[in-house]
């Protein structure tokens, strides 16, 4: 009997483990700042860093969200000021086509190799 | 035999590709580059004057001057202390207004910083939460910008404390 209840609790725990009660705005601030590189830090995002630069960028994100701007608009604004480097997730364009296509090509190539090996063994 | 040659060719070419990718990628210094904002226009912003707390518009600053030098500083920043004598020297020898942007500072601390080391600035503007600095495209303190005051475009940007060489360069750019 007790065991059954424990399993139910565990299930509820796993269902809600990713659920947070923070409101939408905080979630959005976190999401945007996690995708922004803290330019004066080594390997930290704006979300992780406590440097003055990162704190200011976070203030800016809050201000822009209050002004009703979308995430894309915030990224574009910062890209103009600091360049593409500030965004962790680069968009697909002619400069990043190699970046996005090489893993795919390697994946297909590797798949073909494995496929051939399997056929040969058979 | 042919198969082996193709394999060798594939391996070699991928090695060369990887080598050059890393060679180019790792040589590129992405930190602290200034090229993104040089020759760009600084959009107008509104803030408050340091001493009087009067509202101030960036576009109305020093209307009679062709060039302005914008220096981002703070009393808690040690390199700013170091560059202060250079700033004073620069201001004395140039036909441009020196504008201070007081970055995330406490008024009392900034005031004692100025009374201790002197005030070379023509105008000081407050940047309480650092948003103006981001608007300009700054990374932190200290930073110095030579700005064309007519079209508000950035001519040159200096990261970190300015030195004798920078002063000479700014002078030659202004006297052109």
Which residues in chain B are closer than 8 Å to A59, comparing Cβ atoms? Answer: 129-131
- pLDDT per residue as tens digits for the range A85-120: 888 877 777 777 888 888 999 999 999 999 988 888
> Do B82 and B18 lie in a common domain?
no
Tell me, yes or no, whether A14 lies in a domain: no
> Do A83 and A30 lie in a common domain?
yes
User: Given its phi and psi angles, is residue B32 left (phi above 0), alpha (psi -120 to 50 degrees) or beta?
Assistant: left
**pLDDT value for B78:** 92
pLDDT at A19 exceeding the cut of 70: no
Structural domain boundaries, residue B88: 46-174
Tell me, yes or no, whether B40 lies in a domain: no
> Do B24 and B78 lie in a common domain?
no
> Do A46 and A103 lie in a common domain?
no
Site of tokens 């202004």? B174
pLDDT at B1 exceeding the cut of 80: no
**Whether B35 contacts A85, CB under 8 Å:** no
> Do B67 and B15 lie in a common domain?
no
Q: Write out the two tokens for A97.
A: 């086509």
Tell me, yes or no, whether B95 lies in a domain: yes
> Do B140 and B116 lie in a common domain?
yes
Shortest Cα distance from B95 to chain A (angstroms)? 28
- pLDDT per residue as tens digits for the range B28-47: 665 555 566 677 888 889 99
pLDDT tier at A82, thresholds 50, 70, 90: confident
Q: What is the mean pLDDT of chain A?
A: 86
d(CA B21, CA B8): 20
- What global pTM score does this model have? 0.74
- pLDDT per residue as tens digits for the range B57-84: 998 888 888 999 999 999 999 999 999 9
pLDDT at A80 exceeding the cut of 90: no
- pLDDT per residue as tens digits for the range B110-154: 999 999 999 999 999 999 999 999 988 898 889 999 999 988 998
**Burial readout B117-134 (b: 16 or more C-beta within 10 A, e: otherwise):** eebbbbbbbbbebbbbbb
Contacts with B, A 62-91, CB within 8 Å:
63, 80-83, 85
Domain count along chain B: 2
**pLDDT value for B29:** 62
> Do A58 and A72 lie in a common domain?
yes
Q: Report DSSP state, residue A84.
A: G
**pLDDT value for B168:** 92
Residue in B143, B88, B95 with CA at minimum distance from that of residue B118: B88
Which residues in chain A are closer than 8 Å to B45, comparing Cβ atoms? Answer: none
Structural domain boundaries, residue A51: 22-89
**pLDDT value for B109:** 94
- pLDDT per residue as tens digits for the range A20-74: 656 788 889 999 999 999 988 888 999 999 999 999 999 999 999 999 999 999 9
> Do B123 and B154 lie in a common domain?
yes
Quick one: average pLDDT of B168-176? 89
Quick one: average pLDDT of B98-112? 94
Domain count along chain A: 2
pLDDT at B175 exceeding the cut of 80: yes
First to last CA, chain A: 52
d(CA B37, CA B136): 8
Tell me, yes or no, whether A64 lies in a domain: yes
CB atoms B131 and A63 under 8 Å = yes
Quick one: average pLDDT of B91-112? 93
**Omega cis (within 30) before B142:** yes
> Do A66 and A109 lie in a common domain?
no
Residue in B120, B134, B129, B131 with CA at minimum distance from that of residue B71: B120
Strand partners for A10: none
Q: Report DSSP state, residue A42.
A: S
Q: Write out the two tokens for B105.
A: 């500072």
**Whether B126 contacts B47, CB under 8 Å:** yes
Tell me, yes or no, whether B51 lies in a domain: yes
> Do B152 and B121 lie in a common domain?
yes
Tell me, yes or no, whether B38 lies in a domain: no
Which residues in chain B are closer than 8 Å to A60, comparing Cβ atoms? Answer: 131, 134
pLDDT tier at B88, thresholds 50, 70, 90: very high
**Whether B32 contacts A83, CB under 8 Å:** no
The CA-atom distances, in angstroms, between A97 and each of A93, A94, A101 are 6, 5, 6
Q: Report DSSP state, residue B43.
A: P
Q: Which of A33, A46, A81, A84 to mutate to test the interface with B (most CBs of B within 10 A)?
A: A81
């Amino acid at each position: 009997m007790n065991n059954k209840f424990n399993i139910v609790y565990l299930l509820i725990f796993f269902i809600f483990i990713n659920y947070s009660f923070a409101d939408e705005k905080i979630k959005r601030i976190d999401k945007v700042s996690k995708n922004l590189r803290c330019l004066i830090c080594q390997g930290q995002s704006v979300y992780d860093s406590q440097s003055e630069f990162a704190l200011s960028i976070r203030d800016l994100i809050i201000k822009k969200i209050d002004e009703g701007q979308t995430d894309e608009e915030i990224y574009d604004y910062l890209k103009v000021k600091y360049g593409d480097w500030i965004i962790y997730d680069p968009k697909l364009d002619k400069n990043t086509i190699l970046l996005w296509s090489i893993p795919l090509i390697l994946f297909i190539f590797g798949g073909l190799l494995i496929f051939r090996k399997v056929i040969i063994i058979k | 035999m042919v198969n082996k040659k193709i394999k060798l060719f594939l391996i070699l070419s991928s090695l060369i590709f990887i080598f050059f990718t890393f060679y180019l990628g790792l040589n590129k210094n992405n930190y602290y580059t200034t090229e993104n904002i040089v020759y760009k226009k600084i959009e107008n912003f509104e803030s408050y004057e340091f001493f009087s707390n009067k509202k101030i518009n960036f576009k109305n600053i020093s209307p009679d001057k062709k060039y302005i030098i914008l220096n981002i500083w703070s009393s808690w920043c040690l390199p700013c202390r170091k560059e202060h004598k250079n700033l004073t020297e620069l201001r004395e020898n140039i036909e441009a207004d020196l504008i201070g942007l007081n970055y995330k500072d406490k008024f009392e601390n900034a005031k004692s910083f100025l009374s201790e080391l002197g005030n070379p600035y023509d105008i000081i503007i407050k940047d309480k939460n650092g948003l103006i600095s981001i608007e300009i495209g700054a990374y932190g303190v200290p930073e110095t910008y030579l700005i064309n005051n007519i079209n508000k475009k950035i001519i040159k940007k200096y990261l970190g404390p300015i030195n004798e060489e920078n002063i000479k360069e700014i002078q030659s750019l202004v006297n052109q």
